[in-house]
């Protein structure tokens, strides 16, 4: 029988895999699932509320791949630098994978100073960190007792994850541990569904190893606020609906409050992020990688964050940034406001080099973002969708009775004209420019256009405002009662 789809099907491309078509089905159409979504709406607990208020986060991709930094023996890898182990074909150096698998013996990041990183993140205004404990190459940045391919067997030896967790926690920044299910180093790891008994046995071993490592991380680093899963698109893993569901439950029980996004597991029909009934699996939508929603409607009220690279698609350190466009602090501020104005967070990625230095370009960007958040942070921390149409000047965000207008496009006449729908329950009472804390004049303007359903308010910017970066006008709202037009409306 033909199924009736009530909602609009949304094709969302997941990074590193394809999303299920998200659909809202009629109740009678619901597919019975054992390992689908267990959500009953959005989480309302304190930890999740905190997650919602972050606004800005930092992602760090760091591991052995930072040593080659996208290049080896004068050759350049034509992919994301953190994927360099998978370099093959004529363009790759001879015996590349063997070379890569021995690079950990050189991993000695003498310049690594977790407190310096954390201080920089704090100054940037980041409220949470997502840190790669293990990327697809399988190298564990903590002394895992379940593998020899870990920091223990490098010249550096010391536990990097612990230093990062402690340093960021000391700065008041919440830490989320990135963990790749793909593990190119484990002998039992398979990308395709195991076909032979031998393969199946090996894969069972890999599953237990994965579980052990995850429990080990939560045991070793109890300050962890969440797990950020990646590398979950392989056919072999997608088949593990029961195992992954049980494991997710186990991790949540083991570490109450733990936040896990929609990337971890698939349902029994292989649907990822959204189950076969179109319900999100996990606490927030985790597929917004290097892209942002066009409108708040597509999110259907779900929590979400966007993870963003500064160059086009390089997460780990790539020593050559010359040949690509590097996002400016201005670009990132625009994205940040785009995200927050639609109830999301923006997480900006950093890829430190093999010695543990944050590259100068990233440090400059971090400093510029920090200058911005210091003055204008009210527009992003704890701020949300304002319930107003997006203004051409930039973005609205709102917190309590404060409406924030972040101006990306400054009007040439120096007047910000706000079109507030007549149906909006509040109206502007006074306005302040956050740079310099300057009170701005607001007037109601009768444009003679009341037929369009808006009331117009003009905010005059200071004549000498020479803004070179986005600026924020904080507008106090009061209840709108007894609105009327000055002039009567003619019948049409």
CA gap 189, 223 in Å, rounded: 29
Q: For ligand FHN, which residue of 56, 67, 80, 227 counts as binding (CB under 6 A)?
A: 80
82 or 234: CB nearest ligand FHN? 82
Kindly give, in sequence order, each residue whose CB lies less than 8 Å from that of residue 143, ignoring residues fewer than 6 positions away: 150, 151, 152, 159
Which residues, numbered 468-487, are part of the site for ligand FHN (CB under 6 A)? none
Shortest distance, position 289 Cβ to ligand FHN, whole Å = 5
Can you read off the two tokens belonging to residue 385? 């969708």
Query: Is residue 248 at the binding interface for ligand FHN, with CB under 6 A as the rule?
Result: no
Angle, helices 160-170/114-124, rounded to nearest 10 degrees: 40
Query: Is residue 16 at the binding interface for ligand FHN, with CB under 6 A as the rule?
Result: yes
Stretch that binds ligand FHN, among 27-35, 78-86, 359-367, 384-392 (CB under 6 A): 78-86
129 or 379: CB nearest ligand FHN? 129
38 or 71: CB nearest ligand FHN? 71
Size of the site for ligand FHN (CB under 6 A): 10
Asked if residue 37 lies in contact with residue 20, where contact means CB atoms within 8 angstroms, the answer is no
Can you read off the two tokens belonging to residue 135? 């990327």
Query: Is residue 236 at the binding interface for ligand FHN, with CB under 6 A as the rule?
Result: no
Q: What own/partner pairs with CB < 8 Å and gap ≥ 24 does 251-256 have?
A: 251/214, 251/215, 251/218, 251/227, 254/215, 254/218, 255/218, 255/222, 255/224
Shortest distance, position 258 Cβ to ligand FHN, whole Å = 19
Beta-strand relationship, 438-445 and 426-433: antiparallel
Which residues, numbered 293-352, are part of the site for ligand FHN (CB under 6 A)? 307, 315
Can you read off the two tokens belonging to residue 248? 């997710």
Residue nearest to ligand FHN (CB): 16
Shortest distance, position 230 Cβ to ligand FHN, whole Å = 5
Can you read off the two tokens belonging to residue 469? 């970066």
Stretch that binds ligand FHN, among 42-50, 76-84, 89-97, 465-473 (CB under 6 A): 76-84
Shortest distance, position 136 Cβ to ligand FHN, whole Å = 6
CA gap 370, 376 in Å, rounded: 10
Kindly give, in sequence order, each residue whose CB lies less than 8 Å from that of residue 339, ignoring residues fewer than 6 positions away: 292, 305, 306, 345, 346
Shortest distance, position 262 Cβ to ligand FHN, whole Å = 13
Residue 287 has phi, psi (to 5 degrees) of -100, 0
* Beta bridge pairs of residue 473: 405, 433
Kindly give, in sequence order, each residue whose CB lies less than 8 Å from that of residue 122, ignoring residues fewer than 6 positions away: 171, 172, 173
Q: Is 67 left (phi over 0), alpha (psi -120 to 50) or beta?
A: alpha
Shortest distance, position 293 Cβ to ligand FHN, whole Å = 17
247 or 307: CB nearest ligand FHN? 307
> What is the SS3 assignment for 440?
strand
Q: For ligand FHN, which residue of 289, 303, 305, 334 counts as binding (CB under 6 A)?
A: 289
Stretch that binds ligand FHN, among 79-87, 194-202, 216-224, 483-491 (CB under 6 A): 79-87
Tell me which residue of 61, 59, 60, 62 sits closest to 355, measured CA to CA.
62
16 or 462: CB nearest ligand FHN? 16
Query: Is residue 82 at the binding interface for ligand FHN, with CB under 6 A as the rule?
Result: yes
Stretch that binds ligand FHN, among 77-85, 90-98, 190-198, 419-427 (CB under 6 A): 77-85
Q: For ligand FHN, which residue of 5, 15, 292, 435 counts as binding (CB under 6 A)?
A: 15
Kindly give, in sequence order, each residue whose CB lies less than 8 Å from that of residue 234, ignoring residues fewer than 6 positions away: 181, 182, 190, 191, 192
Q: For ligand FHN, which residue of 159, 230, 245, 362 counts as binding (CB under 6 A)?
A: 230
Which residues, numbered 83-142, are part of the site for ligand FHN (CB under 6 A)? 83
Shortest distance, position 307 Cβ to ligand FHN, whole Å = 5
Computed over its alpha carbons, how large is the radius of gyration of the chain?
25
Summarize as ranges the residues that interact with ligand FHN (CB under 6 A): 15-16, 61, 80, 82-83, 230, 289, 307, 315
């Amino acid at each position: 029988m033909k199924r009736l789809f009530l909602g609009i099907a949304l094709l969302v491309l997941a990074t590193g895999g394809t999303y299920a078509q998200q659909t809202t089905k009629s109740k009678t159409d619901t597919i019975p699932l054992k390992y689908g979504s267990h959500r009953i709406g959005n989480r309302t607990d304190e930890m999740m509320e905190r997650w919602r208020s972050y606004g800005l986060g930092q992602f760090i991709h760091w591991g052995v791949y930072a040593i080659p930094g996208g290049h080896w023996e004068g050759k350049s890898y034509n992919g994301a630098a953190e994927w360099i182990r998978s370099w093959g074909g004529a363009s790759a150096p001879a015996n590349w994978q063997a070379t890569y698998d021995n690079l950990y013996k050189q991993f000695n990041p003498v310049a690594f100073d977790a407190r310096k990183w954390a201080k920089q993140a704090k100054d940037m205004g980041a409220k949470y960190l997502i840190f790669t404990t293990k990327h697809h190459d399988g190298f564990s940045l903590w002394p895992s007792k379940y593998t020899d391919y870990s920091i223990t067997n490098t010249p550096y030896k010391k536990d990097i994850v612990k230093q990062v967790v402690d340093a960021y926690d000391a700065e008041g920044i919440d830490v989320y541990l990135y963990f790749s299910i793909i593990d190119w180093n484990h002998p039992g790891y398979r990308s395709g569904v195991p076909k032979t008994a031998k393969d199946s046995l090996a894969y069972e071993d890999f599953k237990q190893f994965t579980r052990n490592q995850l429990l080990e991380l939560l045991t070793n680093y109890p300050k962890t606020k969440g797990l950020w899963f990646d590398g979950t698109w392989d056919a072999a893993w997608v088949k593990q609906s029961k195992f992954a569901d049980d494991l997710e439950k186990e991790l949540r029980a083991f570490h109450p409050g733990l936040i896990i996004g929609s990337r971890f597991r698939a349902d029994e029909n292989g649907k990822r992020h959204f189950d076969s009934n179109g319900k999100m699996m996990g606490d927030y939508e985790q597929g917004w990688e290097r892209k942002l929603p066009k409108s708040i409607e597509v999110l259907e009220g779900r929590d979400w964050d966007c993870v963003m690279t500064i160059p086009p698609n390089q997460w780990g350190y790539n020593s050559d940034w010359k040949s690509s466009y590097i996002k400016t602090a201005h670009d990132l501020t625009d994205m940040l406001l785009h995200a927050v104005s639609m109830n999301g967070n923006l997480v900006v990625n950093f890829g430190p080099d093999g010695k543990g230095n944050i590259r100068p370009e990233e440090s400059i960007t971090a400093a510029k973002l920090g200058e911005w958040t210091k003055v204008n942070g009210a527009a992003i921390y704890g701020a949300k969708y304002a319930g107003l149409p997006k203004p051409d000047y930039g973005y609205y965000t709102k917190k309590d009775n404060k409406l924030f207008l972040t101006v990306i496009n400054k009007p040439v006449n120096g007047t910000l004209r706000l079109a507030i729908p007549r149906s909006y329950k509040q109206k502007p009472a006074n306005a302040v420019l956050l740079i310099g804390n300057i009170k701005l004049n607001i007037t109601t303007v009768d444009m003679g256009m009341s037929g369009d359903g808006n009331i117009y308010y003009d905010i005059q910017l200071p004549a000498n405002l020479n803004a070179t970066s986005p600026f924020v006008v904080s507008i106090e709202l009061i209840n709108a009662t007894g609105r009327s037009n000055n002039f009567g409306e003619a019948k049409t």
